[in-house]
């Protein structure tokens, strides 16, 4: 337990307010609409801020309280979804970022940024895979479980085909099936992206408030995943070639771990561009291209896998402060 997790009335009040704020944000999200969709991206933030600034116990209290509130209103299913997809991943990310303290010592001392991203990925992938398994058992098959998603996708795709007069170029029936199978993996991967962005934002807020409690890490150098992640990612890729439940599980693993590996690939790019006069411009182009097209993320995922094996960043030394140029 970090020293800042003092059970004082002000700290308890902060954790309660953090839990209420988190519940309110998710309740607005559950009501739908554009505003709710935009606010959904900040769902993990209150829990993370409380955990970083006031301690893991208070962050955990906020997470549990928000889950309990949402279980009573609007619905127990909403509370369960919040607990599995938001509260637990958010708290675990901060727990790993702070070194996984236990018994007065940190169990993690190296590569904390990598562990901080891996922790929510594990929770999200496990929750989605568990849903796939349970839904398949309850409905009898994965296709039957995904039918509501497939029906909505078919309506949207059919409308797009008719409005744009695409003719026979797109088959809404076939494409809606592919979309339905991809939705669980998309939820896991996009949820991970939201958690990682909120983790960075919460840590910056805590740092600006002088409450972070540890120095800011060199993320580009310290974002390293355990090597078995590469093997698990490749196993997921292989499973995607199977039909049914196995293929859906493989797709969740491939997308979630692939995004993690892409983060590592981007860390390699940051290190190799560090010290270059054009680094800011090149990185801006990279992130703009990723946001616009999306598919170049595959290149960085491959780079991340290669970095797990060859440790490219260990071969690149920091240039250090630029030496003062001598006058001509």
What's residue 157's pLDDT?
Answer: 74
168 inside domain? yes
Q: Do 56 and 97 sit in the same domain of this protein?
A: yes
Burial of 228 (0-12, 13-18, 19+ CB in 10 A): exposed
Q: What is the pLDDT of residue 164?
A: 66
Number of domains forming the structure of the chain? 2
More confident residue, 278 or 1: 278
Give the per-residue pLDDT at 33: 62
pLDDT recorded at residue 168: 60
254 and 266, same structural domain?
yes
Same domain for 116 and 97, yes or no, is no
Among the listed ranges 141-150, 195-204, 216-225, 250-259, which one has the minimum average pLDDT value?
141-150
- The candidate with the shortest Cα–Cα distance to 189, out of 110, 127, 253, 93, is 253
Is pLDDT at 101 greater than 60 in this prediction? yes
pLDDT band at 96 (very low <50, low <70, confident <90, very high): very high
- DSSP secondary structure code for residue 327 in this structure: P
Whole-number average pLDDT of the chain = 88
Q: Has residue 320 been placed in a domain?
A: no
* Pair 153, 15 in one domain: no
Residues 44 and 74 in one domain: yes
Q: Is residue 285 part of a domain?
A: yes
Query: Is 257 contained in some domain?
Result: yes
The 10s digit of each residue's pLDDT in 119-176 is 999 999 999 999 999 999 999 999 999 998 888 887 877 777 676 655 566 777 788 8
Residue 321 lies in a domain: no
Q: Of 63, 94, 109, which one is at a domain's C-terminal end?
A: 109
- Between CA 157 and CA 220 the distance in angstroms is 40
Please list, residue by residue across 24-48, b when 16 or more beta carbons sit within 10 angstroms of its beta carbon and e when fewer do: ebbbbbeeeeeeeeebbebbbbbbb
pTM of the model: 0.90
Please report whether residue 45 resides in a domain: yes
Give pLDDT, residue 324: 40
Neighbouring-strand partners of residue 101: 106
pLDDT attached to residue 67: 94
Give CA–CA dist 103/234, Å, rounded: 36
Is the pLDDT higher at 36 or at 179?
A: 179
pLDDT at 326 over 50: no
User: How do strand 105-106 and strand 101-102 relate by DSSP bridges?
Assistant: antiparallel
Q: What is the pLDDT of residue 327?
A: 44
Give DSSP secondary structure letters for 69-127. HHHHTT-HHHHHHHIIIIIHHHHHHHHHHTT-EETTEES--S-HHHHHHHHHHHHHHHH
Instruction: Confirm if 123 and 84 have CB atoms less than 8 A apart.
Output: yes
Of the chain, the percentage scoring pLDDT greater than 90 comes to: 64
Q: Distance between CA 137 and CA 145 in Å, rounded?
A: 9
Q: What is the C-alpha to C-alpha distance for residues 310 and 4, in angstroms, rounded to an integer? A: 39
- Do the domain assignments include residue 208? yes
pLDDT for 35 equals: 63
Residue 53 has a CB neighbour count (10 Å cut-off) of: 23
Residues 161 and 215 in one domain: yes
pLDDT at residue number 323: 42
State the residue range of the domain holding 45.
1-109
Q: Quote the pLDDT of residue 293.
A: 92
**Of 49, 78, 109, which closes a domain?**
109
pLDDT at res. 317: 57
Tokens matching residue 308: 């797990």
Helix/strand number for the chain, H first, E second: 15, 2
Is there a domain that residue 324 lies in? no
**Are residues 304 and 189 part of one domain?**
yes
Radius of gyration of the chain from Cα atoms?
22
- Which tops the pLDDT comparison, 229 or 178? 229
Whether residues 102 and 195 fall in one domain: no
125 with 274, same domain: the answer is: yes
Answer yes or no: is pLDDT of 308 > 80: yes
Q: Are residues 149 and 91 in the same domain?
A: no
258 shares its domain with 152: yes
Rounded CA-CA distance 48/69 in Å is 18
Q: Are residues 170 and 87 in the same domain?
A: no
> Which among 83, 109, 135 is the end of a domain?
109
Please give the distance of CA 149 from its chain centroid, rounded to a whole number. 22
């Amino acid at each position: 337990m970090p020293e800042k997790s003092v059970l004082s009335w002000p700290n308890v009040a902060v954790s309660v307010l953090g839990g209420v704020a988190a519940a309110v944000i998710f309740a607005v999200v559950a009501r739908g609409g554009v505003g709710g969709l935009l606010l959904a991206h900040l769902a993990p933030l209150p829990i993370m801020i409380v955990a970083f600034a006031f301690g893991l116990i208070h962050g955990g209290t906020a997470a549990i309280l928000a889950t309990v509130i949402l279980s009573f209103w609007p619905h127990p299913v909403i509370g369960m979804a919040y607990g599995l997809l938001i509260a637990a991943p958010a708290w675990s990310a901060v727990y790993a970022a702070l070194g996984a303290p236990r018994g007065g010592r940190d169990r993690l001392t190296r590569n904390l940024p990598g562990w901080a991203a891996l922790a929510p990925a594990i929770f999200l992938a496990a929750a989605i895979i568990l849903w796939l398994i349970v839904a398949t058992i309850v409905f009898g098959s994965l296709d039957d479980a995904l039918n509501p998603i497939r029906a909505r996708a078919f309506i949207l795709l059919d409308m797009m085909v008719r409005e744009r007069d695409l003719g026979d170029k797109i088959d809404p029936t076939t494409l809606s099936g592919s979309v339905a199978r991809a939705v669980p993996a998309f939820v896991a991967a996009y949820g991970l992206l939201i958690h990682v962005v909120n983790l960075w934002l919460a840590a910056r807020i805590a740092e600006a408030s002088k409450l972070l409690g540890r120095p800011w890490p060199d993320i580009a150098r310290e974002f390293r995943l355990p090597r078995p992640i590469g093997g698990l990612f490749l196993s997921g890729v292989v499973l995607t070639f199977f039909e049914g439940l196995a293929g859906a599980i493989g797709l969740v693993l491939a997308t979630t771990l692939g995004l993690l590996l892409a983060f590592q690939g981007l860390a390699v790019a940051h290190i190799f561009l560090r010290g270059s006069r054009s680094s800011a411009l090149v990185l801006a182009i990279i992130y703009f291209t990723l946001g616009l097209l999306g598919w170049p993320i595959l290149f960085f995922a491959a780079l991340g896998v290669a970095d797990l094996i060859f440790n490219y960043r260990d071969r690149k030394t920091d240039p250090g402060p630029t030496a003062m140029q001598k006058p001509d």
